[in-house]
Amino acid sequence: MNLRRLPSLGAVALALVLAGCASAPPHNPLAQWRGSPNFNERRAQLIVLHHTQMDSVGEALRTLQTANSQGKVSAHYLIGEDGRIYQLVAEERRAWHAGAGRWGDVSDLNSASIGIELDNDGSEPFAEAQIQSLLRLLADLTRRLGLPPQAILAHGDLAPERKSDPSVQFPWKRLAEAGFGLWPREPLAAPPPGFDPWAALRLVGYDLRDPGAALAAFHRRFRGNEARDWQPGDAEVLYDLQRQLVALPEGAPPPLPAPPLR
């Protein structure tokens, strides 16, 4: 055997590193890459927030890289309670996190969204380090992808009849104070005579095929409860949200139309 014809161990290692770099898609330097094979190609217009409803970030990582009882699942990002950010799918690819649902006229939600999972069992407050990392990630994503602030949504907003994440514990007001997501402004004004709260709910983006579920999702996000009937103050909140959407700043996409209710 002619040993001089064999490559050195260093050369072999370098070749392996270069091969790995060549095969890995572009990913966010804020996150540790933990690639998942569960994706398709896509273009993002929305950011969807979830909670994992699992006991640990390790369990969530395993599920997002393999499958759960309903089949293969993934998300673009997972944020642990300690604030560590993991990226599982490249942003230009279609992760499998949203499933069936609708927001306005968008029905293929996986194709239209970035999915962010938060390590939380659905009954506990969200950790401070986790929220700090989420704010940092949202600032990065909205800047690079050119997404408007109202594009940050809850999974429960998109599929109100079957999903409730992130839970009522999620601090939407805090996100809005940092410039992310839609939130009512104080002081709230009374809506004009003839104001239709159902039409306003549809204008915001909610699917009204199951009205009670849509109301529960609206209340979960904006009122801190999951009531399935109209509550005092709902009309004032919706009137302000509607006013914000019809007066979007220049360069933001126009609000979705509110088709006649059936």
Q: What is the bridge-based pairing of β-strands 39-41 and 93-95? A: antiparallel
Q: Considering the candidates 41, 59, 117, 161, report the single residue annotated as catalytic.
A: 117
Q: What is the Cα–Cα distance from 144 to 111, expressed in whole angstroms?
A: 18
DSSP output for 11-31: HHHHHHHHHHHHHSPP--TTS
SS3 153: strand
Q: How far is CA 14 from CA 6, 11, 17, 21, 175, in A?
A: 15, 5, 5, 11, 44
Residue 104 CB neighbours (<10 A) = 17
Q: What is the Cα–Cα distance from 93 to 128, expressed in whole angstroms?
A: 29
- Considering only CA atoms, give the Rg of the chain: 21
Q: What is the Cα–Cα distance from 7 to 5, expressed in whole angstroms?
A: 7
**Token pair of 179, please?**
């410039």
Q: Which of 157, 135, 137 is nearest to 91 (CA)?
A: 137
Active-site residue flag, 117: yes
CA atoms within 13 A on the CB side of 235: 9
Q: Which of 153, 237, 227 is nearest to 189 (CA)?
A: 237
Q: What is the Cα–Cα distance from 154 to 49, expressed in whole angstroms?
A: 5
> Catalytic residue numbers?
117
